[in-house]
């Protein structure tokens, strides 16, 4: 039977979480909001609309959410030509593909941003499909992105493993009924990831690749 390895991208395969924090901080600053970097870091992984709502709360003017998202997109877009893959991100995907896994990306990114991330990973030949923000109505922590990834892979939840770096990833995967592996390279503490549902935690893609024989992706 086919198996699916579903991966988040930002902070899991590409070292972009702090770039997102910087871009969001500047977007909020330009709009007159003082938001701490720490609070923004904990919100990374949510889709843009969800992040704005999470950070500013219900008292904000929701009609300005689009302006904040557009500002973040423009600021973050300045990094597209130099996004850094995390150690062994591409080799990990290639190894799983060679081992018979259907590798699917499940990410809040879409369009040009997704293209830049895939170029950074440099493993297109190993990627079966991508479930992006453009494909679902509700992003993480809702299970939709993971469920859509499973549909694209043609694999049931019990034959899939999800790999991510945020509590939003772990909650989405839990709700979708798949096994859950977390990595620390996105900057979220191990305890938080485990509390959100991570069954195993590794430092980064290189650590997971080196540990494959004893992992949920064996």
Separation of alpha carbons 52 and 66, rounded Å: 9
pLDDT in the model for residue 109: 86
User: Rounded distance, CA 34 to CA 104, Å?
Assistant: 37
CA separation for the pair 175, 73 (Å, rounded): 28
Question: For each of the chain's 218 residues, which pLDDT tens digit applies?
Answer: 899 999 999 999 999 999 999 999 999 999 999 999 999 999 999 999 999 999 999 889 999 999 999 999 999 999 999 999 999 999 999 999 999 999 999 998 888 999 999 999 999 999 999 998 778 888 899 999 999 999 999 999 999 999 999 999 999 999 999 999 999 999 999 999 999 999 999 999 999 999 999 999 99
* Spatial separation of the C-alpha atoms in residues 70 and 91, rounded to whole Å: 33
CA distance 55 to 125: 37
Nearest Cα to Cα of residue 4 among 160, 146, 157, 179: 160
Q: How far is CA 79 from the centre of its chain?
A: 17
Distance between CA atoms of residues 107 and 114, nearest Å: 8
Q: Contact, 165 vs 186, CB < 8 A?
A: yes
Per-residue pLDDT, 132: 82
């Amino acid at each position: 039977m086919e198996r699916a390895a579903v991966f988040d991208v930002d902070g899991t395969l590409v070292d972009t979480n702090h770039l997102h924090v910087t871009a969001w901080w500047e977007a909020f600053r330009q709009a007159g909001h003082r938001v701490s970097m720490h609070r923004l870091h904990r919100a990374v992984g949510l889709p843009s609309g969800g992040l704005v709502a999470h950070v500013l709360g219900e008292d904000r003017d929701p009609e300005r959410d689009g302006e904040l998202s557009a500002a973040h997109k423009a600021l973050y877009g300045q990094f597209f030509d130099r996004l850094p893959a995390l150690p062994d991100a591409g080799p990990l995907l290639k190894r799983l593909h060679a081992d018979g896994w259907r590798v699917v990306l499940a990410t809040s990114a879409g369009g040009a941003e997704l293209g830049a991330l895939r170029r950074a990973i440099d493993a297109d030949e190993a990627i079966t499909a991508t479930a992006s923000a453009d494909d679902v109505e509700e992003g993480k922590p809702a299970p939709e992105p993971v469920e859509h990834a499973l549909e694209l892979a043609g694999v049931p939840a019990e034959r899939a493993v999800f790999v991510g770096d945020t509590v939003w990833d772990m909650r989405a995967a839990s709700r979708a009924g798949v096994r859950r592996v977390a990595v620390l390279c996105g900057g979220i503490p191990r305890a938080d990831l485990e509390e959100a549902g991570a069954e195993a935690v590794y430092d980064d893609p290189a650590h997971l690749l080196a540990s494959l024989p004893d992992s949920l992706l064996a």
